[in-house]
Amino acid sequence: MTHPALQPAATSRPPAGDDQTVAPSASVRVTQLVQVFERDHPPVLDRIDLDVGPGEFVCLLGASGCGKSTLLSLIAGLGTPTSGSIEVTVDRPALVFQEPALLPWLTAAGNVELALKARKVGRHERRAGAERLLTLVNLTGQGHKRVHELSGGMRQRVALARALAQDSQLLLMDEPFAALDAITRDALHEELTRLWSKQGLSIVFVTHNVREAVRLGQRVLLMSSRPGRIVREWRLELSQPRAIESPGVSALATEITHHLRAEISRHGR
């Protein structure tokens, strides 16, 4: 059932340094990461190794409880791992949450400007910068609107613009489109792919949606739950942009879903 365009890598560890995209200058290097929240419970994350190269788009896929969001928070520096190490080559990764998490007392532009302010950008450049970033996410001229005046998709694009305002080469995304309807999600996949190729970002994208992972990523990593481990990896050679309903995406999504289901079924026994 493997599509000819794909090279399924059935290794349980990403092969280290055998490829130029996983170069020594990786954007993120996670080594033997363990996270334990409660003693006497299996670790949430168990000996995770993960390299994300510069400009690479990696999707972390797994059922709930696999620790994928925990892993992302740790990379973002929002917590300390129990053991293991995380090296990030950028100053501060940008992070987009599942909820837009916009500050409701600020306008769309005000939210973007706050990120610029945190980087000590001057007042004038802040205004121009926010306008430019909002244009980048197709929100030209909407900067004066308050959060409650925007639709769900627009809010998430403002959140994306705010993350881009951090001017980080590493963008972490925690199920950012999970709360959106399929039509809006489609448009945002397109938007994100475009931004990724244009800005040369490294992206780590967490999702439980197999098609979404295959639609977006260059690599898809499947995680197991309790303990969270990376159990399988697919390297995609589909060209971008690719449509979510294309045969290539469908074929690989079918294969990955099969593995994901097998992984989940283990817990019922």
Nearer to another protein, 39 or 148 (CB): 148
Could you say whether residue 7 binds another protein (CB under 8 A)?
no
Binding-site size for another protein (CB under 8 A) equals 48
Cβ–Cβ < 8 Å for 268, 43: no
Q: Kindly identify the residues of this chain, within the stretch 80-109, that bind another protein according to CB under 8 A.
A: 92, 94-95, 97, 99, 101, 103-105
Dist CA 127 CA 109 (whole Å): 8
From the CB of 193, what's the least distance to another protein, in Å? 10
Nearer to another protein, 13 or 194 (CB): 194
Strand arrangement of the beta sheet that strand 83-88 belongs to:
45-52, 28-35, 83-88
Which residue is listed with tokens 């999702």?
207
Task: Tell me which stretch binds another protein (CB under 8 A): 9-17, 18-26, 179-187, 206-214.
Answer: 179-187
Per-residue string for binding with another protein, 222-261, x by CB under 8 A? ---------------xxx-xxx-xxxxx------------
Nearer to another protein, 206 or 230 (CB): 206
DSSP letters, 185-242, are: HHHHHHHHHHHHHHHT-EEEEEES-HHHHHHH-SEEEEEETTTBEEEEEEEE---SS-
**Beta carbons within 10 angstroms of residue 156's beta carbon:** 27
Among 187, 199, 257, 264, binds another protein (CB under 8 A): 187
Nearest to 49 by CA among 24, 86, 21, 78: 86
Beta strands at 57-61 and 83-88: parallel, antiparallel or unpaired: unpaired
From the CB of 51, what's the least distance to another protein, in Å? 22
Could you say whether residue 134 binds another protein (CB under 8 A)?
no
Could you say whether residue 147 binds another protein (CB under 8 A)?
yes
